[in-house]
């Protein structure tokens, strides 16, 4: 009588929930050290815009009970638990050009964006 055993397939490692680029970390460090000292940046996803969803960033005094903590470059950013599935693998960047400057999100889950770039869909 022979028995066969099957080995479980190795589980694929999930990408980090979110990461900060060097430029985003530098800008956040400046904000945390300045007027937002003692606060934390909280990122969420809301229903808004012509494509359906948009990123929202708010300063909070402390993490909410369901917030996920993301540590990158020695900084902590909070992510609303309801947004985690939409943000897995996202890189938050900070860009400046002649006309605009601000945080951007490079989200591998996005399927498209509206023409103005304010909203996205998955």
Tokens in use for 89?
A: 């693998």
Give the span between the Cα atoms of 94 and 104, in whole angstroms: 6
In the chain the domains, ranked by start, together with CATH numbers, are 18-113 (2.60.300.12)
Tokens in use for 118?
A: 């304010």
Q: Which of helix, strand or coil describes residue 44?
A: strand
Specify the pTM.
0.77
Mean pLDDT of 4-31: 82
CA-CA-CA-CA torsion sign (65, 71, 74, 76):
negative
Q: What's residue 69's pLDDT?
A: 92
Is the Cβ–Cβ distance between 102 and 95 less than 8 Å?
Answer: yes
Q: Tell me: the pLDDT tens digits for 45-92?
A: 887 666 577 889 999 999 999 999 999 999 999 999 998 888 889 999
Give the span between the Cα atoms of 35 and 68, in whole angstroms: 24
Confidence of residue 3 (pLDDT cuts 50, 70, 90): low
Confidence of residue 119 (pLDDT cuts 50, 70, 90): low
């Amino acid at each position: 009588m022979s028995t066969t055993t099957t080995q479980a397939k190795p589980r694929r490692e999930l990408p980090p929930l979110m990461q900060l680029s060097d430029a985003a970390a530098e800008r956040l460090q400046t904000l945390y050290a300045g007027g937002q000292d003692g606060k934390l940046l909280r990122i969420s996803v809301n229903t808004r815009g012509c494509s359906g969803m948009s990123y929202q960033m708010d300063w909070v005094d402390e993490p909410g009970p369901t917030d996920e903590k993301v540590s990158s470059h020695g900084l902590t950013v909070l992510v609303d638990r309801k947004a985690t599935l939409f943000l897995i693998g996202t890189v938050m960047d900070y860009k400046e050009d002649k006309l605009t400057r601000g945080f951007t999100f490079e989200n591998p889950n996005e399927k498209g964006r509206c023409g103005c770039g304010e909203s996205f869909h998955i």
